[in-house]
């Protein structure tokens, strides 16, 4: 079912009722396929739909005056990263795909109707956006740490988020991001990301091959990244 | 603008250790490091490991000429 990642995501942070699950499962809209680096919404636009991610990885980002891209968050299947446009109409950041990505676009009116009819779903999605804000807070602190800790932290977070939506297998998950994309999120050059990956590999903490991340030592990677999953507010952890 | 280069070993915590101190008017303005084989297709390129008075310095250049041109231009820009 198309909406499975969304249900998994929400069930990881709350307990929706059968009726709420049914309503969420029946969310539908036009399907949109995006190429890597294709934007979904840009600064200044006023979208009339919200995107539910089905496949791929997207990000929120801004471009500085000297052309540098800062990625502020990564988004995975099940996320609705532009849900805020329901209430804050003008995009103050860009939202785009990083790898081949599929979304469905749900018209604002339809989404508003659901929130009015099912207040508990509104609460659920509110909770989701609050956790989104918690991730921002964590990243502010994380980006102040050495390169080694930043990369390790990112891997711990992405692995847990992939696990929640059923995309992990044992301690492996897809991670098709380039070093440049990781660097733009972590405030590091691709050279520093590459050096750090070599370091994490040499210490037998991870393997990263063919777009798949395998964590060889979960505790060790948590320690390296000073990672505590509390801010993700998951009901269960790895 | 003439830059003066001086070889140096840099402890980057990686295999990239062959470096050059870059001076302009006898002031240290950047440290360049030659990328080692661990960088695959970028191996042999020059990376601005650190810079002083230049914004957004962490860039990679295919050769030393390109690196020096960019640093000179960045220094001129910074003084404007």
Q: What is the DSSP string of A42-70?
A: -TT---SEEEEEEES-EEEEEE-TTS-EE
Please tell me which residue of chain A has the smallest CA distance to B12. Answer: A195
Confidence of residue A4 (pLDDT cuts 50, 70, 90): confident
Share of chain A above pLDDT 70, in %: 98
Whether residues B60 and A189 touch (CB distance < 8 A) is answered with yes
Chain A: which residues have CB within 8 Å of chain B? 66, 68, 189-192, 194-195, 198-199
B74 inside 8 A of chain A by CB = no
Banded model confidence at residue A238, pLDDT cuts 50, 70, 90: very low
Nearest Cβ partner for B35 among A68, A191, A199: A191
Min Cα–Cα distance to chain B from A88, Å = 32
pTM: 0.92
Is B58 in contact with A192 (Cβ distance < 8 A)? yes
Residue of chain B whose alpha carbon sits nearest to that of A183: B58
User: For chain B, what are the domain ranges?
Assistant: 3-79
ipTM: 0.87
Chain B residues whose beta carbon lies within 8 Å of the beta carbon of residue A195: 12-14, 16, 38
Q: Encoding tokens for residue A58?
A: 């997207």
Residues in contact with A27: Cβ distance below 8 Å, sequence separation at least 6, in sequence order: A3, A6, A52, A104, A106, A114
The domains of chain A, with CATH numbers, are 4-131 (2.60.120.10), 143-232 (1.10.10.10)
* Angle, alpha carbons A122-A126-A129 (nearest 5°): 140
A12-39 pLDDT, tens digit each: 888 899 999 999 988 889 999 999 999 9
What's the whole-number mean pLDDT along residues A131-157? 97
Name beta bridge partners: B46. Answer: B34, B61
Helix (H, G, I), strand (E, B) or coil at B61: strand
pLDDT above 50 for B77:
yes
* Centroid of chain to Cα A59: 7
More confident: A35 or B78? A35
């Amino acid at each position: 079912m198309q909406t499975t990642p969304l249900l998994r995501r929400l069930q990881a942070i709350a307990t929706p009722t059968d009726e709420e699950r049914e309503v969420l499962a029946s969310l539908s809209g036009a399907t949109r396929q995006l190429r890597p680096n294709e934007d979904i919404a840009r600064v200044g636009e006023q979208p009339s739909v919200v995107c539910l991610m089905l496949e791929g990885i997207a990000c929120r980002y801004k471009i500085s005056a000297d052309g540098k891209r800062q990625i502020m968050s990564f988004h995975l299947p099940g996320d609705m990263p532009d849900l805020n446009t329901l209430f804050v109409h003008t995009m103050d950041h860009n939202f785009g795909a990083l790898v081949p990505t599929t979304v469905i676009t749900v018209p604002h009116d339809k989404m508003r109707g659901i929130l009015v009819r099912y207040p508990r779903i509104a609460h659920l999605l509110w909770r989701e956006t609050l956790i989104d804000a918690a991730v921002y807070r964590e990243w502010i602190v994380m980006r102040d740490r050495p390169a080694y800790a930043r990369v390790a932290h990112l891997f711990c977070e992405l692995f847990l988020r992939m696990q929640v939506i059923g995309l992990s297998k044992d301690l492996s998950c897809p991670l098709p991001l380039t070093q440049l994309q990781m660097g733009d999120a972590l405030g590091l050059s691709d050279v520093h990301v590459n050096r750090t990956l070599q370091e994490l590999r040499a210490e037998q903490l991870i393997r990263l091959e063919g777009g798949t991340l395998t964590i060889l030592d979960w505790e060790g990677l948590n320690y390296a990244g000073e990672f505590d999953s509390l801010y993700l507010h998951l009901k269960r952890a790895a | 603008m003439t830059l003066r280069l001086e070889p140096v070993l840099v402890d980057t915590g990686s295999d990239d250790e062959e470096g050059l101190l870059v001076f302009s008017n006898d002031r240290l303005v950047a440290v360049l490091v030659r990328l080692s084989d661990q960088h695959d297709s970028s191996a042999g390129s020059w990376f601005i490991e650190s810079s002083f008075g230049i914004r957004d310095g962490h860039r990679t250049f295919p050769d030393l000429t390109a690196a020096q041109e960019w640093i000179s231009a960045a220094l001129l820009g910074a003084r404007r």
